[in-house]
Amino acid sequence: MKSWIATLCLAMASALAGTAVNAATFTVPGTNVSFNAPSGFTPLTADEISQKYPSNRAPSFVVGNARRTTTIAADLKPNELPKDKLPQVQASFESVFERVVPGIDWKEKKLIDMKGQQWIFFEMTSRAVDSDIYNIMLITPHQGKMLVFNFNSTKSEFPAVEKELRKSLQSIALGSE
């Protein structure tokens, strides 16, 4: 009898573990873009998004940890982004960021290929009102628009979440256009 209960408990634990993994897979609303977020990440509410991004350019979809100190934002911006213009767009973003992002410290800025898709890749730190921030930003053309991902964390928390954020970044999947 005890082995039957143990087997049932193991089966339930396996089922729950499988559910937790699936719960961390998100699809960006209104798109065919999906990604896996670190365990425990949940969508931010509209109020949380407006508090975290107090501009009219806030992303449409954000997931984050319980304290909201580490987040992944995704948005399909209406701007057209031709594939052959990525180097020029990258240079424009760099120039704008250097003028408007307080205390920007570039770690990397390059074009990358991820699963056959060209992306602009930025990695940087910057100062914010209450804490220094570590950002990894990806930009690519998708569905005739500009797809933007922003992985950010407080600079002090980043070392503890870096591995999971980089796994999440690699999990981005673009459905067919």
pLDDT in tens, 62-74: 999 999 999 999 9
Domain ranges (residues) in the chain: 25-174
Residue 154's Cβ-count burial label (10 Å; 0-12, 13-18, 19+) is middle
Q: Tell me if 37 sits within 8 A of 168, measured CB to CB.
A: yes
CATH class of 25-174: alpha beta
Strand partners, 1: none
DSSP states of 130-165: SSEEEEEEEEEEETTEEEEEEEEEETTTHHHHHHHH
Q: Over the stretch 108-136, which tens digit does the pLDDT of each residue have?
A: 999 999 999 999 999 999 988 778 999 99
| Averages of pLDDT over each 10 residues, the chain, 177 residues | 34 34 75 94 93 83 95 94 93 93 93 95 90 95 94 96 96 84
Q: Tell me if 139 sits within 8 A of 89, measured CB to CB.
A: yes
**Full-model pTM:** 0.84
